[in-house]
């Protein structure tokens, strides 16, 4: 899978996200502090990763900033993106299942390497629900 990754700094698990996704066999596109010659502020970097998803250059994205809040807000401004700030595996699984989230937002401050691995396990294994209520909710998001 092609996954776009953005971070506004190389603090915390930012670089580990890239290396772990590559170790798991994914093609990774980097933005912000992780890329070359790009503005590394969270709003700009996370927008680029989200646009990769919305414009079909990546299937999913991971966006990171100190708290993860700005990263998720920036990504969610891009049409077609459903970004979820996840601090544990249960939230990541639910975001994929019930919300069909296509962008994972992470806090560089709160996410340890162990928790990152658990979140990625849940996120990458997660599949969107086919329950009619869940499908209707996701469709409604697109209509808002």
Instruction: Give residue-wise pLDDT tens across range 87-140.
Output: 999 999 999 999 999 999 999 999 999 999 999 999 999 999 999 999 999 999
Cβ atoms within 10 Å of 110's Cβ, excluding its own: 14
pLDDT of residue 33: 97
Count Cβ atoms within 10 A of the Cβ of residue 52 and give its class: 0-12 exposed, 13-18 middle, 19 or more buried.
buried
The CA-to-CA distance between both ends of the chain, in Å, stands at 28
Interior/surface letters 1-23, b for 16+ CB within 10 angstroms, e for the rest: eebbbbbbbbebbbebbbebbee
Instruction: Give residue-wise pLDDT tens across range 38-67.
Output: 999 999 999 999 999 999 999 999 999 999
Residue 118's nearest CA partner among 98, 104, 130 is 104
Whether the per-residue pLDDT at 85 is higher than 90: the answer is: yes
Q: Which domains does the chain have, with CATH numbers?
A: 2-143 (3.40.1400.10)
**What pTM was computed for the model?**
0.96
């Amino acid at each position: 899978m092609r996954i776009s990754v953005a971070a506004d700094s190389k603090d915390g698990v930012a670089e580990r996200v890239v290396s772990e996704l590559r170790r798991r066999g994914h093609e990774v596109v980097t933005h912000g502090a992780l890329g070359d010659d790009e503005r590394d502020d969270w709003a700009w970097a996370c927008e680029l990763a989200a646009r990769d998803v919305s414009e079909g250059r990546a299937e999913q994205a991971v966006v990171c900033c100190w708290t993860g809040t700005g990263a998720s807000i920036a990504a969610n401004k891009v049409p077609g993106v459903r970004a979820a700030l996840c601090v544990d595996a249960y939230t990541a699984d639910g975001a994929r299942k019930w919300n069909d989230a296509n962008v994972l937002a992470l806090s560089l401050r709160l996410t340890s390497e162990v928790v990152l691995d658990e979140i990625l396990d849940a996120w990458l294994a997660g599949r969107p629900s086919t329950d009619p209520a869940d499908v209707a909710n996701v469709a409604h998001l697109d209509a808002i």
